[in-house]
């Protein structure tokens, strides 16, 4: 049986689109007799009729329609494979995994994603959200090639490179209806400890998990995402520190109140973006160049 080759699939596709063996031959740069011979030879090998030639136009039979439908998928896969091979040969990764800290807003990331797709359409971009030690854990375990927004103070030992993003500020926030909002004075540890704290669980799998801004014996509600934590605090079910990069719009709209605490030093983190100590491919290089932008850093930090 004659093999169904990519060349034959292109011939079947051209005939189906034009409804004519002669027009398909012109598109493919072949003589009509060569196209007719190729199709008949394939029909004989498969023992099926692929085209109904009884009318003015060549029309696919049900068998021909099945061959064309599945064959187009094969051709698309071959084109994609050729593109991937070409990208790899020029240094573009097949996949780039980017872990983004949950304390950062996503709108600036969407602009980066759109720009990346415009020049690296073959590289699969896989994004994840990590909390606390989860950012460094994603890098050290190989779950991510690049982490954005990791806390510099939590960096583990290892062959990593990093660059600063800037300082992120946190504020102690509650709903305007929360009892702590009515005190109208700096909150003490005793004030806060009496109420439930809303937190997001550390996503680290191997590195020791961390907590931020919690008091001993304080009741907890553990939420699955940062957005769920913010929503819970807006609804007044608990209190806690929030990154002002995410909380500021809700504070300005009156959905949250930022309370002054008696902490001597305001809660801040020095954020970095980091990658493993190895020669980066073209995709990672693209991201590292974009992350050097001071304007992007300001957007990510809510400045």
**Residue 239 within any structural domain of the chain:** yes
- CB count in 10 Å sphere of residue 90: 9
Cα separation of 173 and 170, whole Å?
9
**Residue 21 within any structural domain of the chain:** yes
Q: Which CATH number goes with the domain that contains 41?
A: 1.10.10.10
- Taking each continuous run of H as one helix and of E as one strand, the counts in the chain are 11, 11
Per-residue tens of pLDDT for the chain, all 303 residues = 457 888 888 899 999 999 899 999 999 899 999 999 999 988 888 888 999 888 888 899 999 899 989 888 888 888 777 766 766 677 788 889 999 999 999 999 999 999 998 887 678 899 999 998 889 999 988 899 999 999 998 888 877 899 999 999 999 999 999 999 999 889 888 888 889 999 998 888 877 666 666 666 788 899 999 999 999 999 999 999 999 999 999 999 999 999 988 864 568 899 999 998 887 888 999 999 999 999 999 999 986
Indicate whether 155 and 290 sit together in one domain: yes
**Residue 15 within any structural domain of the chain:** yes
**Residue 41 within any structural domain of the chain:** yes
Please enumerate in sequence order all residues whose Cβ is within 8 A of that of 255, keeping only pairs 6 or more positions apart, or say none: 175, 176, 234
Is the pTM higher than 0.75? The answer reads no
Cα separation of 223 and 235, whole Å?
13
Number of domains in the chain: 3
Token reading at 168: 């992120």
Cα separation of 29 and 118, whole Å?
32
Cα separation of 135 and 200, whole Å?
14
**Residue 1 within any structural domain of the chain:** no
**Residue 217 within any structural domain of the chain:** yes
67 φ, ψ (degrees, to nearest 5): -60, -45
**Residue 50 within any structural domain of the chain:** yes
Cα separation of 63 and 82, whole Å?
28
Domain boundary among 89, 107, 139: 89
DSSP-assigned letter for residue 152: G
Place of tokens 């800037």: 166
Domain boundary among 89, 120, 144: 89
Indicate whether 68 and 17 sit together in one domain: yes
How distant is the alpha carbon of residue 49 from its chain centre?
47
Which helix (H) or strand (E) element contains residue 190? Answer: helix 189-193
Indicate whether 73 and 213 sit together in one domain: no
Indicate whether 35 and 52 sit together in one domain: yes
Cα separation of 51 and 46, whole Å?
13
Domain boundary among 35, 69, 89: 89
Cα separation of 124 and 119, whole Å?
12
Domain that holds residue 288: 95-166+270-300
Q: Which CATH number goes with the domain that contains 116?
A: 3.40.190.10
């Amino acid at each position: 049986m004659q093999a169904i080759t990519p060349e034959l699939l292109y011939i079947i596709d051209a005939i189906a689109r034009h409804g004519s063996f002669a027009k398909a031959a012109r598109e493919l740069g072949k003589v009509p007799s060569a196209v007719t011979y190729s199709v008949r030879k394939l029909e004989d090998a498969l023992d099926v009729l692929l085209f109904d030639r009884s009318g003015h136009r060549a029309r696919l039979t049900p068998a021909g329609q099945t061959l064309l439908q599945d064959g187009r998928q094969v051709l698309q896969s071959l084109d994609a494979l050729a593109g991937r091979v070409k990208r790899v040969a020029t240094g573009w990764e097949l996949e780039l995994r980017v872990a983004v800290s949950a304390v950062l807003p996503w709108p600036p990331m969407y602009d980066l994603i759109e720009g990346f797709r415009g020049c690296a359409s073959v590289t699969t971009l896989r994004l994840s959200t990590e909390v606390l030690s989860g950012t460094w854990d994603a890098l050290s375990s190989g779950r991510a090639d690049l982490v954005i927004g990791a806390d510099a103070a939590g960096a583990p030992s290892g062959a990593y490179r990093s660059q600063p993003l800037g300082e992120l500020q946190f504020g102690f926030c509650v709903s305007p209806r929360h009892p702590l909002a009515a005190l109208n004075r700096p909150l003490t540890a005793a004030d806060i400890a009496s109420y439930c704290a809303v937190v997001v669980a550390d996503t680290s799998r191997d590195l020791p998990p961390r907590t931020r801004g919690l008091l001993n014996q304080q009741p907890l509600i553990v939420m699955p995402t940062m957005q769920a934590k913010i929503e819970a605090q807006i609804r007044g079910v608990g209190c806690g520190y929030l990154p002002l990069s995410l909380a500021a719009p809700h504070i300005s709209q009156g959905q949250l109140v930022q309370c002054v605490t008696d902490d001597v030093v305001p809660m801040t983190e020095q954020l970095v973006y980091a990658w493993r100590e190895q020669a980066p491919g073209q995709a990672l290089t693209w991201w590292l160049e974009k992350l050097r932008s001071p304007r992007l850093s300001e957007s990510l930090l809510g400045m």
